[in-house]
Amino acid sequence: MCVLHGAVVLITELCERNPETLERFRKTVPDLVQIMKGLVISGYSPEHDVAGISDPFLQVRILRLLRILGRNNETASDAMNDLLAQVATNTDSTKTVGNAVLYETVLTVLDIKSESGLRVLAVNILGRFLLNNDRNIRYIAMISLQKIVGTDHNAVQRHRGTIVDCLKDQDASVKRRALDLSLALVSASNIRSMMKELLIFLSSCPPELRSQAASGIFNAAERYAPSQRWHIDTILHVLTTAGGDVRDETVPNLIQLITNASELHCYTVHKLYRALLTDISQPSLVQVACWCIGEYGDLLLRGECQDTEPVQVTEDDVLDALETVLQSHMSSPATRGFALTATMKLSTRITDNVDRIRSIVSIYGSCIDVELQQRAVEYNALFKKYDHMRYAEAFSKSGELFLLFQLSPHVGTFPQVCDLLDLLGGAEETPQLSPAVSGLAPGLPINTLSTAGGDLLDLLGGLEPAPAAPAPTVPAYEKDGVTLTLSCEKTSDSGLTVTLTASNSTDSDISSFTLQAAVPKSVQLHMKAPSGDALPARGAAKVTQMVILNNPNKDTVQIDSFP
């Protein structure tokens, strides 16, 4: 008996590793079947017996060998069909031993080319295992069903109820298997009920399974979502329960989804706002909520919405919520960035509290985090640009004059070159501002209010038809005695030289006079050294500076001055 066992083990190993031996040993199948029959039918043999089954070890090994020999082979599979049916029906399944033999039989049946009746028998055995009280047996059943869920999907679907019940089992291993199997069983027809169960599971599942469950739910929702609103609801629910464990790309995916569901913007922003009020600890949820509020804040403030109960939200409430996010130490820097951008976007959508927004934004101009600081300074500068009315300190405070030229392709609300003077006192602000402003041009697209349009003063366009024509001189800036003129000259097909001339007509000298310029990314800028940096009084001398612009894309460019 044990010699037989040893031989069977050896043959199994050989056949697993070498396909030639596999061929050779195929002819032993009838012998093996014979031996197995003997074992199953034979009488009681006390020394080899375990709980009524004679030599289960040998039985299982023979079944395993038969599995390997019968795989992909019709004749061998036919020879063992009867035997397998006999073993499956005769084996006593009250004890673990019997179940062990049945388990091996089922695995063999499912692996060889068995007839359909036998397969049905095997799946029924697995179904019976699922209903067994013993956790081990249920675990085994779920592992086996996982193997065949791809091929015999319908057969496994019949047991969906039991599998979903196993999600609620207290044992971690059983839960894991049930989760894998449930996710594999999700289909278009049962998505709603399955998702309900999966969401209940997510709220009570052990932490190591959370991220797997969350990503599985997202995949299932993406593939089988019956409606967009359901999809958004589901994702929001997952974010509120397990927001910390989802992957990073869910935030942009969700944002894209919300953008596409245009009729649900009102509903979405209300729900997200409410979620934000209750809990700001989940980073993904907070990020999406901030983005949504920033983007669709006007819908939120309008108050009513067809799908949710109307609630009056004031601008102060919304700003309070965003400020809480900004100041909370649970927020990561990325989350704070989202909140700051949302606050800024709201400045164009609300009317009363612009000052409050401005103060929030300027506070963060001196924040430690570089990203936030840069954003805040850029937004600050945006404020100044839009605000015609804002006059800054008196001219002679520090003797420094900053004039920044912004070449921007699409700031359409300014049909002419603006006269804005803003004296910046304090040298420490200057290094921050210039990179900020040069970063503004690509940053401007955030502000979706301005539309590129025919309002552009097209200086370069006017030059093109007459390349040899004398360059127009434009008084760019004239205030408080300082005059600045721009004269442009087209030097090549895509190049332009701008000469800036400054003169001073006041009674006092201006020293440390510098000019800076910023251009959008498609244009290259090269500033030559100025002729000097002091403007003596009463126009005694002028300071000139040449700026060479290269515009390879031939974008129409607007030149405006900028404080």
Partner 1 sequence: MIRFLLLFSRQGKLRLQKWFTAYTDREKKKVIRDMIMLVLARQPRSCNFIQWRDLKIVYKRYASLYFCAGLEASDNELLSLEVLHRYVELLDRYFGNVCELDIIFNFEKAYFILDEFLMGGEVLETSKTAVAASMQETDTLQETMEEYMSKPAY
Question: Which window, 49-57, 213-221, 289-297, 314-322, contacts partner 1 (CB under 8 A)?
Answer: 49-57
Residue 94: CB minimum distance to partner 1, A: 13
How many residues make up the chain in this entry? 563
Check binding of 58 to partner 1 (CB under 8 A). yes
Residue 212: CB minimum distance to partner 1, A: 13
Q: Which is nearer to partner 1, 59 or 241 (CB)?
A: 59
Question: Which window, 44-52, 273-281, 361-369, 420-428, contacts partner 1 (CB under 8 A)?
Answer: 44-52
Q: Which is nearer to partner 1, 139 or 291 (CB)?
A: 139
Residue 124: CB minimum distance to partner 1, A: 18
Residue 126: CB minimum distance to partner 1, A: 13
213 vs 181: CA distance, rounded Å: 11
Give the residue, chosen from 65, 70, 85, 103, that forms a contact with partner 1 under the rule CB under 8 A. 103
Check binding of 2 to partner 1 (CB under 8 A). yes
Check binding of 47 to partner 1 (CB under 8 A). yes
CA angle 260, 184, 230 (to 5 degrees): 30
Q: Which is nearer to partner 1, 70 or 283 (CB)?
A: 70
Number of H-type helices and E-type strands within the chain: 23, 10
Residue 171: CB minimum distance to partner 1, A: 4
45 phi-psi bin (left φ>0, alpha ψ -120 to 50, beta other): beta
Give the residue, chosen from 136, 212, 253, 373, that forms a contact with partner 1 under the rule CB under 8 A. 136
Q: Which is nearer to partner 1, 136 or 501 (CB)?
A: 136
Q: Which is nearer to partner 1, 166 or 326 (CB)?
A: 166
Question: Which window, 131-139, 148-156, 183-191, 202-210, contacts partner 1 (CB under 8 A)?
Answer: 131-139
220 vs 563: CA distance, rounded Å: 53
Neighbours of 394 (CB within 10 A): 9
What dihedral do alpha carbons 230, 234, 239, 242 form, nearest 10°? Answer: 180
Give the residue, chosen from 29, 56, 121, 376, that forms a contact with partner 1 under the rule CB under 8 A. 56
Of 520-559, binders to partner 1 (CB under 8 A) are none
Q: Which is nearer to partner 1, 209 or 276 (CB)?
A: 209
Give the residue, chosen from 25, 33, 88, 104, that forms a contact with partner 1 under the rule CB under 8 A. 104
146 vs 127: CA distance, rounded Å: 13
Residue 138: CB minimum distance to partner 1, A: 8
Check binding of 97 to partner 1 (CB under 8 A). yes
Residue 135: CB minimum distance to partner 1, A: 4
Tell me the residue type at 145.
Answer: L
With H, G, I as helix, E, B as strand and everything else as coil, classify residue 226.
coil
CA angle 135, 141, 145 (to 5 degrees): 145
- Residue pair 559/408 in contact by the 8 Å Cβ criterion: no
Half-sphere exposure of 293 (CA within 13 A, CB side): 34
Residue 109: CB minimum distance to partner 1, A: 14
263 vs 281: CA distance, rounded Å: 28
Residue 134: CB minimum distance to partner 1, A: 9
Give the residue, chosen from 22, 39, 60, 221, that forms a contact with partner 1 under the rule CB under 8 A. 60
Residue 71: CB minimum distance to partner 1, A: 13
281 vs 314: CA distance, rounded Å: 23
Q: Which is nearer to partner 1, 177 or 358 (CB)?
A: 177
Check binding of 100 to partner 1 (CB under 8 A). yes
SS3 content of the chain, % helix, strand, coil (to 5): 60, 10, 30
- Residue pair 139/174 in contact by the 8 Å Cβ criterion: yes
Q: What distance lies between CA 199 and its chain's CA centroid?
A: 20
Q: Which is nearer to partner 1, 99 or 250 (CB)?
A: 99
Check binding of 131 to partner 1 (CB under 8 A). no
Question: Which window, 133-141, 305-313, 344-352, 529-537, contacts partner 1 (CB under 8 A)?
Answer: 133-141
Of 396-435, binders to partner 1 (CB under 8 A) are none
What is the 3 state secondary structure string of 18-41?
Answer: CHHHHHHHHHHHHHHHHHHHHHHH
Q: Which is nearer to partner 1, 47 or 355 (CB)?
A: 47
Query: Taking the alpha carbons of 463, 457, 528, 543 in that order, is the dihedral positive or negative?
Result: positive
Q: Which is nearer to partner 1, 107 or 325 (CB)?
A: 107
Contacting residues for 443 by C-beta, under 8 A, at least 6 apart: 378
75, 97, 137, 152, 438 from 148: Cα distances, Å: 23, 23, 17, 6, 60
Q: What distance lies between CA 341 and its chain's CA centroid?
A: 18
Neighbours of 408 (CB within 10 A): 23
Check binding of 99 to partner 1 (CB under 8 A). yes
65, 72, 128 from 36: Cα distances, Å: 11, 21, 24
Q: Which is nearer to partner 1, 140 or 164 (CB)?
A: 140
Q: Which is nearer to partner 1, 71 or 542 (CB)?
A: 71
Q: Which is nearer to partner 1, 68 or 186 (CB)?
A: 68
Give the residue, chosen from 50, 457, 525, 527, that forms a contact with partner 1 under the rule CB under 8 A. 50
Residue 9: CB minimum distance to partner 1, A: 5
As given in the structure block, the two tokens for residue 187 are 């289909």
First to last CA, the chain: 97
Check binding of 139 to partner 1 (CB under 8 A). yes
Give the total of residues touching partner 1 (CB under 8 A): 33
Of 153-192, binders to partner 1 (CB under 8 A) are 170-174, 176
Q: Which is nearer to partner 1, 107 or 290 (CB)?
A: 107
Q: What's the burial of 36, exposed, middle or buried (CB within 10 Å: 0-12/13-18/19+)?
A: buried
Positions that interact with partner 1 (CB under 8 A): 1-2, 5-6, 9, 47-48, 50, 55-58, 60, 64, 96-97, 99-100, 103-104, 107, 135-140, 170-174, 176
